[in-house]
C-alpha cells in the first residue's frame, strides 16, 4: 500500500512540474505500443524540431500473427520503417497536438507448414515489400521538461500509446 501511495505521489508531482513542450531544435525519442495491421504492434519513434511548428524523424514498427488450422499453420511478420513529417499546429507547454505524413517501406514475410499426413510437401515461405504513404495524427502531453506521453492514430499504427524523452 505504501508503495502504491508513493508511486501516485511521484506521478502527480511529475505532472505538476513545469513542462516545456515541443521546441525547435530539440529531439524526442521513445517506444510505441499499439495496434497495427494485425494484433499488437511494437516499435518506436524519433522526431527533431526543424521549425517552431514542423518536426521530422523516423518511425519503426513490428507486428506478427499466426493461425493454426486443422491441416497446417500460417505465420506472418510485418516490419515498417518510415520517415515522418509532423505539423505541430498548437504547440504549448503541456499539450502538443500534431498531424503528419509518413513515407515508409513495409516488409512482409510469411510461411506455411502442412500438418503431418496432409501432404508430402513440408511448407513454403514468401516475402513481399512495398513503399507506403500514410497519414497520422496525435497528441503529446508533457509530464515534465524531458518526458511526454504520446497518443497517435493513423499509419503504421491504427492506435498507439508511448512515452517520448528529450535527448
Q: Which residue has the higher pLDDT, 123 or 162?
A: 162
Band (162; pLDDT cuts 50, 70, 90)? very high
CB neighbourhood size of 160 (10 A)? 25
- The tens digit of pLDDT for each residue in 61-87 reads 898 888 887 777 888 888 999 999 999
- The tens digit of pLDDT for each residue in 91-100 reads 777 898 999 9
pLDDT at 26: 86
Task: Tell me what the pLDDT averaged over the chain comes to.
Answer: 81
Q: Where are the alpha helices (DSSP H) in the chain?
A: 2-16
Band (120; pLDDT cuts 50, 70, 90)? low
pLDDT at 50: 92
Phi first, then psi, for residue 6 (nearest 5°) are -60, -45
The number of distinct structural domains making up the chain is 1
Q: Which residue has the higher pLDDT, 40 or 161?
A: 161
The CATH number of residue 66's host domain is 2.40.160.20
Before 156, cis peptide (omega within 30)?
yes
Q: Is 13's pLDDT higher than 70?
A: no
3-state secondary structure of 121: coil
- Numbers of helices and strands, H then E, in the chain: 1, 8
Range of the domain at 120: 2-166
Phi first, then psi, for residue 16 (nearest 5°) are -85, -15
Amino acid at each position: 500500500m505504501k508503495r502504491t501511495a508513493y508511486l501516485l505521489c511521484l506521478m502527480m508531482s511529475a505532472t505538476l512540474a513545469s513542462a516545456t513542450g515541443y521546441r525547435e531544435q530539440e529531439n524526442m525519442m521513445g517506444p510505441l505500443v499499439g495496434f497495427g495491421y494485425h494484433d499488437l504492434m511494437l516499435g518506436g519513434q524519433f522526431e527533431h524540431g526543424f521549425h517552431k511548428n514542423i518536426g521530422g524523424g523516423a518511425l519503426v514498427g513490428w507486428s506478427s500473427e499466426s493461425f493454426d488450422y486443422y491441416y497446417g499453420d500460417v505465420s506472418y511478420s510485418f516490419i515498417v520503417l518510415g520517415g515522418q513529417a509532423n505539423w505541430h499546429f498548437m504547440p504549448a507547454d503541456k499539450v502538443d497536438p500534431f498531424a503528419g505524413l509518413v513515407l515508409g517501406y513495409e516488409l512482409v514475410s510469411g510461411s506455411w507448414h502442412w500438418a503431418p499426413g496432409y501432404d508430402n510437401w513440408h511448407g513454403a515461405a514468401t516475402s513481399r515489400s512495398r513503399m507506403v504513404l500514410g497519414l497520422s495524427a496525435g497528441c503529446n502531453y508533457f509530464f515534465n521538461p524531458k518526458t511526454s506521453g504520446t497518443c497517435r492514430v493513423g499509419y503504421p499504427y491504427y492506435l498507439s500509446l508511448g512515452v517520448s524523452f528529450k535527448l
